[in-house]
Amino acid sequence: MKSGSSAFIFLGMRMLLGVIFIAASVDKIAHPAEFAEIVQNYQILPDSLVNVFAVVLPWLEALLGILILCGWWLKGATTLANLLLVVFLGALGAAVARGIDVHCGCFSSKASGQPHTLWYFGRDIILLLLGVFVMRAAFRAPPEAGRRRES
């Protein structure tokens, strides 16, 4: 990042992305069985992988959020976060294309009420744009920009 204001914007966007990934993981970590039901409703994974996915994914989201928030392994963390966001959009699109009404399971493991599919798509696209911004900035930053100086 060249100027102080762009560095400040990058930091703010990075913090926002990290917090979003951590927030997305909390309820799913606390309620893996309910999240497994949401994953099952997508009808994408074989039954044998649903529970594993429902347990591993939230912890991966939490780890990525922490890495992004702290600025550690930022290139890899943002790349993987964006890959997950693309997969989430693809899974949602596949469910909609097959006529399946799903609760996205993005920030909650509760599947009550009517799914808001357009909202899910819009929100995921905004999150992907945020992720791409942070990833591009991370790849453009000089290597020493993310390291702490030792005294």
120-136 per-position pLDDT tens digit = 889 999 999 999 999 99
Could you report how far apart the first and last alpha carbons of the chain are, in Å?
23
pLDDT value at residue 96: 87
Cα 120 to Cα 44: distance, rounded to the nearest angstrom? 18
Label residue 117 by pLDDT band (50, 70, 90): confident
pLDDT value at residue 64: 98
- Tokens standing for 118? 């357009």
Label residue 151 by pLDDT band (50, 70, 90): very low
pLDDT value at residue 143: 64
C-alpha closest to that of 136 among 89, 73, 79: 79
Summary mean pLDDT of the chain: 88
Provide the whole-model pTM.
0.86
- At 151, is the secondary structure helix, strand, or coil? coil
Sequential DSSP letters for 117-144: HHHHHHHHHHHHHHHHHHHHHHHHS-GG
Cα 105 to Cα 131: distance, rounded to the nearest angstrom? 19
pLDDT value at residue 113: 62
pLDDT value at residue 1: 47
Q: How far is CA 140 from CA 1, 10, 57, 67, 147, in A?
A: 7, 11, 28, 18, 15
Label residue 111 by pLDDT band (50, 70, 90): low
Query: What's the angle, vertex CA 126, arms to CA 124 and CA 130, rounded to 5?
Result: 115
55-80 per-position pLDDT tens digit = 999 999 999 999 999 999 999 999 99
What does the pLDDT average to over 22-27? 96
